[in-house]
Chain A
Amino acid sequence: AQRVTQPEKLLSVFKGAPVELKCNYSYSGSPELFWYVQYSRQRLQLLLRHISRESIKGFTADLNKGETSFHLKKPFAQEEDSAMYYCALSGLDNFGNEKLTFGTGTRLTIIP
Protein backbone atom coordinates (compact mmCIF):
# COMPACT_ATOMS: atom_id res chain seq x y z
CA ALA A 1 0.00 0.00 0.00
CA GLN A 2 1.14 3.52 -0.64
CA ARG A 3 0.83 6.32 1.86
CA VAL A 4 1.67 10.00 2.02
CA THR A 5 2.16 11.76 5.33
CA GLN A 6 2.29 15.48 5.88
CA PRO A 7 2.95 15.80 9.60
CA GLU A 8 2.20 19.51 9.88
CA LYS A 9 -1.36 20.70 9.42
CA LEU A 10 -0.42 24.30 10.03
CA LEU A 11 2.86 26.13 9.48
CA SER A 12 3.55 29.81 10.04
CA VAL A 13 6.72 31.45 8.77
CA PHE A 14 7.88 35.07 8.74
CA LYS A 15 8.32 36.77 5.39
CA GLY A 16 11.85 36.35 4.19
CA ALA A 17 12.50 33.28 6.32
CA PRO A 18 13.14 29.84 4.83
CA VAL A 19 10.21 27.49 4.33
CA GLU A 20 10.17 23.72 4.54
CA LEU A 21 6.97 21.70 4.16
CA LYS A 22 7.49 18.10 5.12
CA CYS A 23 6.27 15.11 3.18
CA ASN A 24 7.07 11.48 3.85
CA TYR A 25 5.86 8.58 1.82
CA SER A 26 5.56 4.84 1.99
CA TYR A 27 5.80 2.87 -1.24
CA SER A 28 7.58 -0.31 -2.16
CA GLY A 29 8.45 0.63 -5.71
CA SER A 30 9.89 3.65 -7.45
CA PRO A 31 7.50 6.53 -6.78
CA GLU A 32 6.66 9.65 -8.71
CA LEU A 33 5.99 12.55 -6.36
CA PHE A 34 4.21 15.85 -6.73
CA TRP A 35 3.42 18.98 -4.83
CA TYR A 36 0.06 20.66 -5.40
CA VAL A 37 -0.92 24.11 -4.13
CA GLN A 38 -4.28 25.71 -3.50
CA TYR A 39 -4.37 29.48 -3.04
CA SER A 40 -7.30 31.10 -1.30
CA ARG A 41 -10.48 30.78 -3.36
CA GLN A 42 -8.61 29.15 -6.22
CA ARG A 43 -8.41 25.63 -7.53
CA LEU A 44 -5.88 23.03 -6.62
CA GLN A 45 -2.99 23.22 -9.10
CA LEU A 46 0.21 21.37 -9.75
CA LEU A 47 3.24 23.13 -8.29
CA LEU A 48 6.03 20.76 -9.23
CA ARG A 49 6.92 17.13 -9.81
CA HIS A 50 10.15 15.47 -8.80
CA ILE A 51 10.75 13.90 -12.17
CA SER A 52 11.17 17.26 -13.87
CA ARG A 53 13.57 18.58 -11.22
CA GLU A 54 12.33 22.11 -11.82
CA SER A 55 11.92 25.11 -9.57
CA ILE A 56 8.55 26.83 -9.58
CA LYS A 57 7.96 30.14 -7.81
CA GLY A 58 11.24 29.60 -5.99
CA PHE A 59 10.16 26.24 -4.57
CA THR A 60 12.20 23.08 -4.92
CA ALA A 61 11.73 19.55 -3.68
CA ASP A 62 14.25 16.75 -3.65
CA LEU A 63 13.31 13.13 -3.49
CA ASN A 64 15.26 11.37 -0.74
CA LYS A 65 14.69 7.66 -1.16
CA GLY A 66 16.76 6.81 1.91
CA GLU A 67 14.52 8.90 4.13
CA THR A 68 11.43 8.37 1.93
CA SER A 69 10.86 12.09 1.94
CA PHE A 70 9.96 14.78 -0.58
CA HIS A 71 10.10 17.98 1.41
CA LEU A 72 9.17 21.25 -0.27
CA LYS A 73 11.58 24.12 0.32
CA LYS A 74 11.95 27.79 -0.44
CA PRO A 75 14.83 29.90 0.83
CA PHE A 76 12.89 33.15 1.33
CA ALA A 77 9.16 33.09 1.98
CA GLN A 78 6.87 35.63 0.33
CA GLU A 79 3.42 36.68 1.45
CA GLU A 80 1.85 35.26 -1.72
CA ASP A 81 3.09 31.82 -0.72
CA SER A 82 0.32 31.56 1.85
CA ALA A 83 -1.79 28.62 0.70
CA MET A 84 -2.63 24.97 1.23
CA TYR A 85 0.03 22.56 0.00
CA TYR A 86 -0.60 18.91 -0.82
CA CYS A 87 2.02 16.26 -1.38
CA ALA A 88 1.01 13.42 -3.68
CA LEU A 89 2.50 10.12 -4.76
CA SER A 90 1.86 8.24 -7.96
CA GLY A 91 2.62 4.55 -8.01
CA LEU A 92 1.24 1.27 -9.23
CA ASP A 93 -1.32 -0.70 -7.29
CA ASN A 94 -1.38 -4.47 -7.05
CA PHE A 95 -3.05 -4.68 -10.45
CA GLY A 96 -0.47 -2.56 -12.22
CA ASN A 97 -2.71 0.49 -12.44
CA GLU A 98 -1.42 3.94 -11.70
CA LYS A 99 -2.69 5.23 -8.38
CA LEU A 100 -2.42 8.75 -7.01
CA THR A 101 -2.47 9.25 -3.25
CA PHE A 102 -2.64 12.62 -1.53
CA GLY A 103 -1.47 13.72 1.87
CA THR A 104 -3.89 15.69 4.02
CA GLY A 105 -2.20 18.97 3.29
CA THR A 106 -0.33 21.70 5.16
CA ARG A 107 -1.66 25.23 5.51
CA LEU A 108 1.23 27.64 5.13
CA THR A 109 0.79 31.16 6.48
CA ILE A 110 3.42 33.79 5.80
CA ILE A 111 3.58 36.43 8.50
CA PRO A 112 4.37 39.91 7.15
Chain B
Amino acid sequence: DAGVIQSPRHEVTEMGQEVTLRCKPISGHDYLFWYRQTMMRGLELLIYFNNNVPIDDSGMPEDRFSAKMPNASFSTLKIQPSEPRDSAVYFCASSWDREYEQYFGPGTRLTVT
Protein backbone atom coordinates (compact mmCIF):
# COMPACT_ATOMS: atom_id res chain seq x y z
CA ASP B 1 0.00 0.00 0.00
CA ALA B 2 1.24 3.48 -0.80
CA GLY B 3 0.09 4.82 2.54
CA VAL B 4 -2.02 7.91 3.02
CA ILE B 5 -1.80 10.13 -0.03
CA GLN B 6 -2.27 13.87 0.10
CA SER B 7 -2.33 16.42 -2.65
CA PRO B 8 -1.08 18.91 -3.39
CA ARG B 9 2.12 18.76 -1.36
CA HIS B 10 2.52 22.52 -1.54
CA GLU B 11 -0.08 25.18 -2.16
CA VAL B 12 0.49 28.91 -2.39
CA THR B 13 -2.55 31.10 -2.83
CA GLU B 14 -3.71 34.64 -2.30
CA MET B 15 -5.97 35.75 0.47
CA GLY B 16 -9.61 35.33 -0.44
CA GLN B 17 -9.10 32.41 -2.77
CA GLU B 18 -10.65 29.00 -2.26
CA VAL B 19 -8.29 26.20 -1.33
CA THR B 20 -9.04 22.48 -1.57
CA LEU B 21 -6.83 19.87 0.02
CA ARG B 22 -7.23 16.22 -0.89
CA CYS B 23 -6.62 12.97 0.91
CA LYS B 24 -6.75 9.31 0.02
CA PRO B 25 -6.70 7.09 3.10
CA ILE B 26 -5.25 3.61 3.33
CA SER B 27 -7.63 1.08 1.87
CA GLY B 28 -9.65 -0.65 4.56
CA HIS B 29 -9.28 2.09 7.13
CA ASP B 30 -12.64 3.25 8.43
CA TYR B 31 -11.43 6.41 10.15
CA LEU B 32 -10.03 9.51 8.54
CA PHE B 33 -8.64 12.51 10.39
CA TRP B 34 -7.69 16.01 9.30
CA TYR B 35 -5.07 17.87 11.35
CA ARG B 36 -3.43 21.27 11.16
CA GLN B 37 0.13 21.84 12.30
CA THR B 38 1.56 25.26 13.17
CA MET B 39 4.59 26.20 15.19
CA MET B 40 2.47 28.22 17.58
CA ARG B 41 -0.27 25.69 18.28
CA GLY B 42 1.33 22.39 17.39
CA LEU B 43 -0.89 19.70 15.95
CA GLU B 44 -4.64 20.28 16.11
CA LEU B 45 -7.37 17.86 15.16
CA LEU B 46 -9.85 19.59 12.88
CA ILE B 47 -12.35 16.84 12.09
CA TYR B 48 -12.61 13.11 11.79
CA PHE B 49 -14.84 10.71 9.87
CA ASN B 50 -15.99 7.18 10.52
CA ASN B 51 -17.26 5.26 7.51
CA ASN B 52 -17.46 8.53 5.55
CA VAL B 53 -19.61 10.22 8.20
CA PRO B 54 -18.26 13.26 10.10
CA ILE B 55 -18.16 12.39 13.79
CA ASP B 56 -16.46 15.31 15.47
CA ASP B 57 -15.90 18.63 13.75
CA SER B 58 -15.45 20.69 16.88
CA GLY B 59 -11.87 21.42 15.92
CA MET B 60 -12.82 23.19 12.71
CA PRO B 61 -11.78 26.77 13.40
CA GLU B 62 -14.63 28.56 11.69
CA ASP B 63 -17.25 28.38 8.98
CA ARG B 64 -14.68 29.06 6.31
CA PHE B 65 -13.50 25.49 6.79
CA SER B 66 -15.46 22.52 5.51
CA ALA B 67 -14.62 18.86 4.98
CA LYS B 68 -16.29 16.11 3.01
CA MET B 69 -15.81 12.43 2.49
CA PRO B 70 -17.94 11.37 -0.48
CA ASN B 71 -16.59 7.81 -0.43
CA ALA B 72 -14.24 5.54 1.50
CA SER B 73 -11.23 6.43 -0.59
CA PHE B 74 -11.38 10.20 -0.80
CA SER B 75 -11.77 13.24 1.41
CA THR B 76 -11.39 16.98 0.92
CA LEU B 77 -10.73 19.88 3.23
CA LYS B 78 -11.84 23.19 1.82
CA ILE B 79 -11.09 26.72 2.98
CA GLN B 80 -13.20 29.48 1.49
CA PRO B 81 -12.16 32.26 1.62
CA SER B 82 -8.58 31.63 2.70
CA GLU B 83 -6.71 33.99 5.02
CA PRO B 84 -2.99 34.38 5.82
CA ARG B 85 -3.51 32.91 9.29
CA ASP B 86 -4.59 29.66 7.63
CA SER B 87 -0.99 29.12 6.54
CA ALA B 88 0.07 25.80 8.05
CA VAL B 89 0.78 22.20 7.25
CA TYR B 90 -2.38 20.14 6.97
CA PHE B 91 -2.16 16.43 7.68
CA CYS B 92 -4.54 13.68 6.82
CA ALA B 93 -4.37 10.42 8.75
CA SER B 94 -6.33 7.19 8.66
CA SER B 95 -6.79 4.21 10.91
CA TRP B 96 -8.94 1.11 11.11
CA ASP B 97 -10.09 1.97 14.61
CA ARG B 98 -10.61 5.25 16.47
CA GLU B 99 -8.13 4.52 19.22
CA TYR B 100 -5.47 2.63 17.33
CA GLU B 101 -2.47 3.74 15.38
CA GLN B 102 -3.02 6.43 12.86
CA TYR B 103 -1.08 6.50 9.64
CA PHE B 104 -0.20 10.02 8.64
CA GLY B 105 0.14 11.38 5.15
CA PRO B 106 3.04 13.60 4.15
CA GLY B 107 1.03 16.76 4.68
CA THR B 108 0.13 19.71 2.52
CA ARG B 109 2.00 22.93 3.18
CA LEU B 110 -0.40 25.81 2.64
CA THR B 111 0.82 29.37 2.30
CA VAL B 112 -1.74 32.13 2.02
CA THR B 113 -0.31 35.50 1.05
Chain A contacts to B: CB under 8 angstroms: 9, 36, 38, 40-41, 43-46, 84, 86, 95, 97-102, 104-107
Do residues B107 and A99 form an inter-chain contact, with CB atoms below 8 A? yes
Do residues A107 and B89 form an inter-chain contact, with CB atoms below 8 A? no
Do residues B101 and A107 form an inter-chain contact, with CB atoms below 8 A? yes
Identity of the chain B residue whose Cβ is nearest the Cβ of A4 in the assembled complex: B104
**18 residue pairs bridging A and B, Cβ less than 8 Å apart:** A40-B99, A43-B44, A43-B59, A44-B35, A44-B43, A45-B42, A46-B42, A84-B101, A84-B102, A95-B10, A97-B10, A97-B109, A98-B89, A99-B89, A102-B91, A102-B102, A104-B102, A104-B103
Which residues does chain A contribute within 8 Å of B43, judged by CB atoms? 36, 44-46, 100
- Tell me how many residues of B have a C-beta within 8 Å of chain A: 20
Which residues does chain B contribute within 8 Å of A41, judged by CB atoms? 99
Do residues B107 and A100 form an inter-chain contact, with CB atoms below 8 A? yes
Chain B contacts to A: CB under 8 angstroms: 10, 35, 37, 42-45, 59, 89, 91, 93, 99-104, 106-107, 109
Do residues A102 and B100 form an inter-chain contact, with CB atoms below 8 A? no
| Cross-chain contact of A44 among B45, B100, B109 (Cβ < 8 A) | B45
Which residues does chain B contribute within 8 Å of A98, judged by CB atoms? 89, 109
Do residues B101 and A100 form an inter-chain contact, with CB atoms below 8 A? no
| Cross-chain contact of A43 among B10, B45, B91 (Cβ < 8 A) | B45
